[in-house]
Amino acid sequence: MTKVFVGMSGGVDSSVTASLLVEHGYDVVGVYMKNWSQDLPGMKCPWAEDLADAKRVAVQLGIDFRVFDFENKYREKVVQYMIDEYRAGRTPNPDIMCNQEVKFKLFLDTALEQGADMIATGHYARTRDGELLRAHDENKDQTYFLYRVTSDALRQTIFPLGDYTKDEVREMASKRKLFTATKKESMGVCFVGQVGMREFLSQYVETKPGNIVDKQSGDIVGRHDGAIFYTLGQRHGLDVGGGLPYYVVGKDMDANVVYVSRDLNSQEIWRDKIELESIHWISKPVVDKVQVRTRHRAPLVEATLDATTLHLARSERAVTPGQSAVLYDGERCLGGGIVLH
Amino acid sequence: MTQQQSVYLDYAAATPVDERVLAAMQPYFCDRFYNPSSPYAPSVQVRRDVEDARHRIAQTIGVKPADVILTAGATESINLAMTAVGDGEIITSTIEHPAVLESAKQYSHTLIDVSSTGLIDVDDIVRTITPNTQLVSIGLANNELGTIQPVRRIADAIQRERDRRSQVGESRPLWLHTDASQGVGQLDMTVSRLGVDLLTLNSAKCYGPKQVGLLWRAPGVQLRPIIHGGGQEAGVRSGTENVPGVIGFATALEIAARTRNSETKRLQELRDTLQRHIESGIDIAEINGHQKKRLAGHLHVSVPGIDAERFVFMLESVGVYVATGSACAANHGTRSHVLEAVGMSAQQADGSLRLTLGRHTDDAAIEYAAEQIIIAVQSERDRIGL
- Catalytic option among A96, A98, A111, A339: A98
Interior/surface letters B343-365, b for 16+ CB within 10 angstroms, e for the rest:
ebeeebbbbbbbbbbbbebeeeb
The pLDDT assigned to A272 comes to 86
Strands A118-120 and A157-158: parallel
The pLDDT assigned to B2 comes to 45
Q: Which of B310, B317, B329 lies closest to A48 in CB terms?
A: B329
Q: Which domains does chain A have, with CATH numbers?
A: 3-175 (3.40.50.620), 207-261 (2.30.30.280), 270-339 (2.40.30.10)
Q: For residues B91 and B288, is the Cβ–Cβ distance under 8 A?
A: no
With CA atoms as reference, report the closest residue to A264 among A239, A243, A247, A242.
A247
pLDDT band at A247 (very low <50, low <70, confident <90, very high): confident
Q: Which of A37, A55, A60 lies closest to B317 in CB terms?
A: A60
pLDDT tens per residue, range A135-149:
999 999 999 999 999
The pLDDT assigned to B173 comes to 98
Q: Which of A37, A59, A65 lies closest to B314 in CB terms?
A: A59
pLDDT tens per residue, range A166-190:
999 999 999 999 988 888 776 545 5
B382 at the A interface (CB within 8 A)?
no
Is pLDDT of B280 > 90? yes
| A259 exposure class (CB count in 10 Å sphere: 0-12, 13-18, 19+) | buried
The pLDDT assigned to A242 comes to 63
Question: What is the count of residue pairs from A and B with beta carbons less than 8 Å apart?
Answer: 28
The total number of residues written for chain B in this structure: 386
The pLDDT assigned to A205 comes to 82
CA angle A90–A92–A96, rounded 5-degree value: 160
Is pLDDT of B331 > 80? no
Of the two residues B333 and A177, the one the predictor is more confident about is A177
Task: Say how far residue A42 (Cα) sits from the centre of its chain.
Answer: 23
If you average pLDDT over residues B323-333, what whole number do you get? 60
The pLDDT assigned to B329 comes to 46
Half-sphere exposure of A76 (CA within 13 A, CB side): 7
Instruction: Return the residue of B nearest to A63 by Cα.
Output: B383
* pTM (two decimals): 0.87
d(CA A28, CA A5) in angstroms, rounded, equals 6
> Where is average pLDDT lowest: A302-311, B147-156, B224-233?
A302-311
Residue contact B309–A55, C-beta within 8 A: yes
d(CA B96, CA B179) in angstroms, rounded, equals 9
| A112 exposure class (CB count in 10 Å sphere: 0-12, 13-18, 19+) | middle
| A241 exposure class (CB count in 10 Å sphere: 0-12, 13-18, 19+) | exposed
Question: Which 8-state DSSP code applies to residue B208?
Answer: S
The pLDDT assigned to A223 comes to 87
pLDDT band at B119 (very low <50, low <70, confident <90, very high): very high
Query: Closest Cα of chain B to A55: distance in Å?
Result: 7
Question: Interface pTM (ipTM) of the complex?
Answer: 0.81
Q: For residues B380 and B350, is the Cβ–Cβ distance under 8 A?
A: no
Segments making up each domain of chain B, as ranges: 7-16+260-384, 19-256
Q: For residues B100 and B137, is the Cβ–Cβ distance under 8 A?
A: yes
| Dihedral sign for Cα atoms in the order B225, B230, B231, B237 | negative
Percent of chain B with pLDDT strictly greater than 70: 97
Task: Say how far residue B228 (Cα) sits from the centre of its chain.
Answer: 26
Q: In what order do the strands lie in the sheet with B198-202?
A: B68-71, B213-217, B198-202, B175-179, B133-137, B89-93, B109-112
Residue contact B333–A52, C-beta within 8 A: no
Give the Cβ contact number of residue B179 at 10 Å. Answer: 29
Half-sphere exposure of A184 (CA within 13 A, CB side): 6
pLDDT tens per residue, range A197-221:
777 788 888 888 988 888 888 888 8
pLDDT band at B333 (very low <50, low <70, confident <90, very high): low
**Residues of B classed as catalytic:** 328
Is pLDDT of B1 > 50? no
Active site annotation includes A98: yes
Q: Which of B317, B329, B379 lies closest to A55 in CB terms?
A: B329
The pLDDT assigned to A80 comes to 92
pLDDT band at B330 (very low <50, low <70, confident <90, very high): very low
Query: Closest Cα of chain A to B195: distance in Å?
Result: 42
Identify the CATH number of the domain defined by range B19-256.
Answer: 3.40.640.10
The pLDDT assigned to B326 comes to 55
Instruction: Return the residue of B nearest to A55 by Cα.
Output: B310
Cβ contacts of B310 on chain A, cutoff 8 Å: 55, 59, 65
Q: For residues A89 and A251, is the Cβ–Cβ distance under 8 A?
A: yes
Architecture of domain B7-16+260-384: Alpha-Beta Complex (3.90)
With CA atoms as reference, report the closest residue to B247 among B23, B2, B3, B4.
B23
With CA atoms as reference, report the closest residue to B142 among B304, B334, B288.
B288
Residue contact B330–A52, C-beta within 8 A: yes
Is pLDDT of A319 > 90? no
Cβ contacts of A64 on chain B, cutoff 8 Å: 384
Q: For residues B90 and B109, is the Cβ–Cβ distance under 8 A?
A: yes
User: Which residues pair with residue A6 across a beta bridge?
Assistant: A30, A120
If you average pLDDT over residues A247-254, what whole number do you get? 86
Residue contact B313–A51, C-beta within 8 A: no
Residue A187 sits at φ, ψ, to 5 deg, of: -115, 145
pLDDT tens per residue, range A37-87:
877 777 777 888 889 999 999 999 999 999 999 999 999 999 899 889 888
Residue contact B313–A62, C-beta within 8 A: no
Residue contact B329–A37, C-beta within 8 A: no
Is pLDDT of A285 > 70? yes
The pLDDT assigned to A246 comes to 82
